[in-house]
Structure 1
Amino acid sequence: MRKMFIFAMVFGVIAGISAAAKAQSAERISPRLQDALASKAAGETVAAWVFFTDKGPQAAALLSEAEARLTPKALQRRLRNRGAGNLVDRHDLPVNAQYVQEVASRAARIRHKSRWLNAVSAEIEKSEIAKLAQLPFVKKIDLVRSARRPMPEVHPLSPSLHKGGDPGIHSLNYGPSLAQNQQINVVALHDLGYNGSGVMVAMLDAGFNNLQHEALANLNILHTWDFVNGDSNVEDEPGQMGSGNHGTLTFSALAGFKEGELIGPAYGADFILAKTENTDYERHIEEDHWVAGAEWADSLGADIISSSLGYRDFDPGEFSYTWQDMNGDIAISTIGADIAASRGILVVNSAGNEWEPIPPVQNTLIAPCDGDSVMAVGAVTESGNRASFSSMGPSADGRIKPDVMARGVSTACASPYSPTGYSTANGTSLSCPLAAGAAALVLQVNPSASNMQILQALRNTANNAGAPNNQYGWGIINAYNAAFAVTGMAGGEISLPDRIELFPAYPNPFNPSTTIRYRVPQNGTATLTAFNLLGQQVATLAEGPRAAGEHQVVWNAQGLPSGVYYLVLSAARQRQVQKVVLLK
């Protein structure tokens, strides 16, 4: 009898422990994944995230190895944004290989490993989910969220739009793309010689067809990778579903270059192209590809991510995000975007094309634009009005979104179908790359600026900065003003160079006035004069004592004939010369 009692007691304890373990493992399976599993038949797979508790016992020792693996470009970006003593952290450590192997032995396929999220995404049979949840190193298992969206309408470029501008007025002939560049004051920076050179931009999109297009063929594409199919070809391939035309539109809006037809803001930048969507627009797009693409961009040293993608589904019954989830902390892509920003990357994302919210819905944002470190870009028309489809905030936690605006209606871009054709398209998919390209120019002008300084400069110099709201954000960006506002935002003492500096005049060519900025390294006498081609002095623009720092003068050449003139700055026993053109 005593033995039976002891056996019953031991059995009860074991049963209790087993029940507690099962309850604990059930808590590790998210409610949305549980809902998704309920609709799956036995033997069916589900795409799920498996999050781990830690990165293994040797994690601390691996930090120095992570720092040593930084590419020169990534190191440069992190030094600029994080400082020498804080280059890497736990997000840079690899996922523990033993944990991954355990999951792989129970999964149909590992899709991606994420060092940022300390997780893997995998295709897992329904019956294996509960078993995985019982593993001691598994923290949580969640659904890989998805969304559905249509391909933007693409229209052939109307002949009436081929009005461009007089190539004698600006340094480049923009053709039909002039208005979208002028609206965000990019042309002014192009006239000064800025084109994004030295800046690396990562494009995360749904494939990039027609890279042989005349406006794309000469761009500096450093790397490509298809995160959906696992190869380096980001164009359509036989046997793959859908079409990779969306990336052609966005890439060309940001960087296309063909004078008289299309010029993007950052045509001189370096590019890496990531295909992060299944390009069949009738199927769901899944955000684990986006996170994988962002981590890849970080490892290669990207300065800016331009992402015209988003994750949210408005169809009833879909296991995706709701407006309440747009709080900057829930969506996986948003968490990934904020981690990217913490690595020093400026993440620029479309706000979405989901129109105005209808109560009780309070926003129509798409992840990851809800991130607090993400620059969400809405769309305006040529006249500067908000496009009716452009998504609106606030974020679910009350922050103003979108951040800024750019042209997203009838935006000129390269045709995905012809090597010499051009199109127009609508959507925040097009306003996003315009803003990202403008950000690349601001970084080129200010190569020591942090990503957050650039974001703040673009906000603070936009045309609605005095009264930002959830329809228009801080307003239409002004790339030129932002570029020269960054220095004043740096805080503390501004270090002065030990040489004089004569900045490019703007506008140039000009009629009849142009603004000239110059800097002197120390208190003393400075002289700024203008000469014609014959060497005759025609104007004294500044003369006398000047304090160390930056100064500005406006030259009105109303009484002078058209032609080439030379500006000469003399100070601190130094001399600089600059050419300007008066064009009446």
Structure 2
Amino acid sequence: MTSTATARTLRSTLLLLILAGLILPTTIFALPAIYGEALQPVLATASDTELLEIVIFMDPAPDTREMAQYLEGVRAEDRRELLWQVMSERAELAQDDVLDALYEQEQHGVATRIRPLILTNAISAELTPAVIRAIAAMPNVREIEYSPDVYAVEPVDNPPNEIDQLTWHVEQVQADDVWNMGVTGEGIIVAVLDTGVRYTHNDLADHLWDGGAEFPNHGYDVHDNDNDPMDTYGHGTHVAGIVAGDGTSGWQTGIAPDATIMCVKISSDGASADLTDVWAGLDWALSHGADHCTLSFGWYDQPASIRQGNRDAYEALRLVGMTATKSCGNSGNSSWHNPPDEVSCPGKVPSPWRNPDQIEAGGVGGQTAVGSTNSSDNISSYSSHGPVTWEDVNPWFDYIYNNGQNQGLMKPDVSAPGENIYSLSLSDNGYTTMSGTSMASPCAAGVIALIRSANNALSPAQVDEILQTTAVDLGTPGRDNTYGAGRVNAYDAVLAAQGGGGDEYTVELTPLHDPYYIFQAGGQIEYDVVITANISTPQMGNAWIEALLPNGNTYPLDIYNVNFQPGMVITRNGMTQNVPGFAQAGEYEFIVKVGIHPGEVWAQDSFMFTKLGVATDGVTSWSSGGWGDLSDANTEIVSTQPDQFLLAPAYPNPFNPTTSLNISLPMAGELSLRVYNSLGQEVAVLANGQFNSGQHSFTFDATGMASGLYFVRAQMNDGSQQIQKMMLLR
């Protein structure tokens, strides 16, 4: 018997002993997982045979800040694949034992609907109380929480169809004016997470996501785990029509009529679902190439662990460049939900861009919450109001509300038409009217599809900034908790996207020689740079330097924190940048950017240079002269090439099958350089001996090794060490 089979047999035996009551979980593991606040009373009263809908949160919890470091310097088009691979491998390592145990119990009828979740590192399932208690004792189980399916479409009374208002929402946001500019949403994939989509409707049929033979129905049903996301309820089809109905059957309902609809069914046929269905839908949409996700379901009174999962999942979307909208909820005129709990989950997640009117401290997220307006640009009576808070949710504990003593997080982020909206029905050529923030979210999603169709190089933060700063300000001047930043305006937003949008920054980068050629032994480029901030209010940001390599990868050089002030001009003349001999031959692009490092770029400039060959001697590092003391420009140097022991990031990264590693040694000494896989097993020794001070280059060849995450550790005889991460992508 193999060691893996032996381990699985031991796990199965252990679980059976716990289930039989022959041993207690605490006799094996001293610290059982925490039963969530919603699960505890349910578990105490459930019958022995009752199957409870739960979610098992595994260790380690997702860390988007760490993931951002993995993605630093990775090309935008590679970030999705890299994030998905890293998070999938981590989830598999954490979940494997628990899933093995659950699948075995499924055969005995005490476990069902078992579903691994990647972005949240969790498992959803229906389990008997005995199995829940046994699973709680297993390693890596962080928390188990109750998460039942509920009717998740928030009802609003619909008036009779009024044909004279059938396309008012399209005209209100000036989408038709955008079409006249030649921008129709083409090339943008919008995932509709809902009750499914009637993919046979004439107004959608010719611009649905092509899933090939594996997904012939243009998406997936993550609730029932099959490849038929057909809508039999009507809500999801109506939502999809607001995004991209093209008028084939007579009425133009879609904001972005040429956007591609990806159908992701997250509920039962009766519109019941829980938030793990949303997480599964986000997993599926991200891993199958969606550019944007829109969600028009809502849940209230969710425990902290569920809200943590919401923010984790949407932050992961932001890291790979996906945008997302969510209806803010229909509890504006209810008496049972009030701020900070009036906005439905997961609409409480912060948006990607931090509006200057948001005073309370807190981080950004990955989702834009949308309120509902009527044809007179008044807020709909049912539209939920903010603020919300994250003061009790680990690891952020931000946007303090303190029972109204603090601002909290302002919501919604924007508003959009959502009242008396005419869109697609469940017949293949029919239409119907619905109302709710459920209709506002896809309207904003359509506007975002137009923005991205006009300029798909924009980051989620830039898209969100454009959406908010071009919105029609309604209600109290500025951002508020009723309209958000205002009602979305597609025409102004697309104009801003085509022109860059937001506050205006400029970068002027001038090479002192043109053309620039670097000989094979390496050399130096010289340049002047001028950065101008034509802004009205101070703004924290970064200025950074990158080199775009001949193979398309980005190599990070210097980065500076900058407190940009209105009218600030940063001028640096005669700056230098070394190009090492070991750098590959070919065309390079030297780039200076300003924005929020690494993904949000406000302005940039660049020039090309050519490396004529490769040498093992000559210039030994990518060192630079630095931009010197920039205190007169309110800047602070964050990092330059160090004059201390340093293991630089692997280049290229991701790689296949070789990558270079460069080490700076301030003095002579014994150096150990070793590579480990994600299990901690040593797979290569690149150096182990005495080395002189200076720059040293090594090559790691992963031929024959499996794709995945690897770690390289450089250690000196005085105990100092440096660790870097590398991703092998076959």
In the superposition, the TM-score normalised over structure 2's length comes to 0.54
CA distance, structure 2, for counterparts of residue 359 and residue 226 of structure 1: 32
Matches within 5 A, 1:272-283: 272-281=262-271
CA distance, structure 2, for counterparts of residue 473 and residue 430 of structure 1: 17
CA distance, structure 2, for counterparts of residue 485 and residue 160 of structure 1: 31
Rate the CA distance shift 1:495–1:489 in 2: closer, same or farther, 3 A: farther
Aligned to 1:221, the other structure's residue is in SS state coil
Aligned to 2:76: 80
Aligned to 1:266, the other structure's residue is in SS state coil
Aligned to 1:470: 481
Query: 1:82: how far off?
Result: 8.6
The superposition leaves residues 13-61 of structure 1 with CA deviations (integer Å, 9 ceiling, x where unpaired) of: xxxx986867731x52223211121231111111111222249xxxxxx
Rate the CA distance shift 1:81–1:473 in 2: closer, same or farther, 3 A: farther
Alignment of 1:390 with 2:389, yes or no, is no
Aligned to 1:226: 221
Report percent identity of matched pairs. Answer: 26
Aligned to 1:24: 31
Query: 1:200 touches 1:269 (CA, 8 Å); kept in 2?
Result: yes
Query: 1:90: how far off?
Result: 4.3
Aligned to 1:330: 307
Rate the CA distance shift 1:484–1:20 in 2: closer, same or farther, 3 A: farther
Query: 1:492: how far off?
Result: 5.1
Query: 1:95 touches 1:114 (CA, 8 Å); kept in 2?
Result: no
CA distance, structure 2, for counterparts of residue 196 and residue 480 of structure 1: 13
CA distance, structure 1, for counterparts of residue 432 and residue 36 of structure 2: 44
The superposition leaves residues 373-406 of structure 1 with CA deviations (integer Å, 9 ceiling, x where unpaired) of: 3100110000000000011110123111001111
Aligned to 2:428: 419
Query: 1:110: how far off?
Result: 4.2
The superposition leaves residues 434-455 of structure 1 with CA deviations (integer Å, 9 ceiling, x where unpaired) of: 1101101001111210111101
Query: 1:467: how far off?
Result: 1.2
Query: 1:482: how far off?
Result: 1.7
Aligned to 2:186: 197
Which residue of the other structure, out of 246, 258, 269, is the alignment partner of 2:247? 258
Aligned to 1:387, the other structure's residue is in SS state coil
Aligned to 2:235: 246
Structure with the higher fraction of residues in strand conformation: 2
Query: 2:244 touches 2:261 (CA, 8 Å); kept in 1?
Result: no
- Structure 2 residue identity aligned to 1:28: I
Query: 1:208 touches 1:244 (CA, 8 Å); kept in 2?
Result: no
Matches within 5 A, 1:7-406: 24-25=31-32, 27-54=33-60, 79-80=75-76, 90-93=86-89, 94-96=91-93, 97-106=96-105, 108-148=111-151, 149=153, 153=157, 157-161=161-165, 176-177=166-167, 179-209=168-198, 211-222=199-210, 223-235=218-230, 243-258=232-247, 260-281=250-271, 284-312=272-300, 320-321=301-302, 330=307, 332-356=309-333, 358=335, 361-362=338-339, 363-372=341-350, 373=365, 374-396=367-389, 397=399, 398-406=408-416
Q: Which consecutive residues of structure 1, in runs of 5 or more, have no partner in the other structure?
A: 1-16, 56-62, 68-77, 162-175, 237-242, 313-319, 497-584
Query: 1:134: how far off?
Result: 1.1
Rate the CA distance shift 1:230–1:453 in 2: closer, same or farther, 3 A: same
Structure with the higher fraction of residues in helix conformation: 1
Q: How many residues align?
A: 427
CA distance, structure 2, for counterparts of residue 227 and residue 359 of structure 1: 31
Query: 1:302: how far off?
Result: 0.9
- Structure 1 residue identity aligned to 2:307: I
Query: 1:98: how far off?
Result: 3.6
Query: 1:262 touches 1:414 (CA, 8 Å); kept in 2?
Result: no
CA distance, structure 1, for counterparts of residue 113 and residue 425 of structure 2: 36
